[in-house]
Amino acid sequence: MAATNNNQPTEESIVKLRQRFLEEIEKNSSLYHEIDVKRIKEEEWEVRRFLLEYNGDENVSFDAMIKCYRWKKEYGIHERTDDMFPKELWELADCGRAKDGTYVQMEAFRSQKTFKELNELPKHFIAHMLERIDRMAGTHGFIMLIDAGGAGPSNVNMDLIKFKMTIVENYPSSLKKILVVDLPWILNPVMTMIVSFLNPKLKAMLTYQKSKELLTIMEPQELPTSLGGTKTKPNIPENLIPLAHMADKLGLTDKFVDSFYNHLKIKRPA
């Protein structure tokens, strides 16, 4: 999440926290992934971000680092690759840039539905996407944009939303703003519920906008046509595999695959 403190951590405080955490890693090396250990040793940001988020409090920052990096190892963050997730999931999570260069992670509520057959795959994808956008954004952070236009209560998966808003705390000083665009009146009660479980910092980031207002912060070519832009294809990794071709691997029935494509209103690939 984005820090509210304007005071930059000193080099001394960063060195001290890093050394303290490296000692923690030595004691409990099996609880941390080697990728994170390497980043902590080599990248100042992987330490400084915690001091920024927690107003320079070393003890709170230290505890947050333990929670964050143990979770990454336990949840398998570094064990998953882009091509492990169906192409259709990626197409629901486009990425653009604001005029100032900030990355914007976009998702459309109207295309979402709870598919119990997918088990933990949606949560794994959310975690993978957060890790990916966090690494892309670096010290600049990113914006989360929720396109709520045309959505109804059946498109809102509260469990997934709570999951995302919980694990984003493991990416301190990264999320800068949450934009909810074109919220229909029918979702007002649902949005009230969502806001109720957000922590104070996330609530402070939340703003509501109309899609026509987005052109003040983003160029047309960075926005999909559904949001008033000119972008016709999502910015996603190459060589992704459609869900239909991953069905056996994911343990999905032919009947479910048909229902999945029917929901998205797209033709099932041969």
pLDDT tens-digit series, residues 49-68: 999 999 999 999 999 999 99
Residue-level pLDDT at 186: 95
Q: Which amino acid is at 160?
A: L
Tens-place pLDDT, residues 37-52: 999 999 999 999 999 9
Residue 145 is encoded by which pair of tokens? 């944009």
Quick one: pLDDT band at residue 6, thresholds 50, 70, 90?
Answer: low
Q: What pTM, to 2 d.p., does this model score?
A: 0.93
Do residues 33 and 78 touch, judged by C-beta distance below 8 A? yes
Query: Alpha-carbon Rg of the chain, whole angstroms?
Result: 20
Q: What is the Cα 59 distance to its own chain's centre?
A: 26
Averaged pLDDT score across all residues of the chain = 94
Report the topology of domain 82-241.
Phosphatidylinositol Transfer Protein Sec14p (3.40.525)
- The mean per-residue pLDDT over the stretch 127-148 comes to 97
pLDDT at position 2 over 80: no
Q: What DSSP line would sit under 31-94, residue for residue?
A: GS-HHHHHHHHH-THHHHHHHHHTTT-HHHHHHHHHHHHHHHHHHTGGG--GGGS-HHHHHTS-
Do residues 52 and 68 touch, judged by C-beta distance below 8 A? no
Q: Side by side, which strands form the sheet with 103-108?
A: 95-97, 103-108, 142-147, 175-181, 206-209
Question: How many CA within 13 A on the CB side of residue 204?
Answer: 9
**Poorest-pLDDT segment among 19-28, 71-80, 147-156:** 147-156
Residues 6+ apart with CB under 8 A from 203: 195
pLDDT at position 128 over 90: yes
Q: In terms of C-beta density within 10 A (0-12 exposed, 13-18 middle, 19 or more buried), how is residue 265 classed?
A: exposed
Quick one: pLDDT band at residue 7, thresholds 50, 70, 90?
Answer: confident
Distance CA 130, CA 45 (A): 17
Distance CA 23, CA 20 (A): 5
Quick one: pLDDT band at residue 96, thresholds 50, 70, 90?
Answer: very high
% of the chain exceeding 90 in pLDDT: 90
Distance CA 188, CA 213 (A): 20
Distance CA 202, CA 164 (A): 12
- Nearest alpha-carbon partner for 178 in 204, 144, 215, 210: 144
Q: In terms of C-beta density within 10 A (0-12 exposed, 13-18 middle, 19 or more buried), how is residue 212 classed?
A: exposed
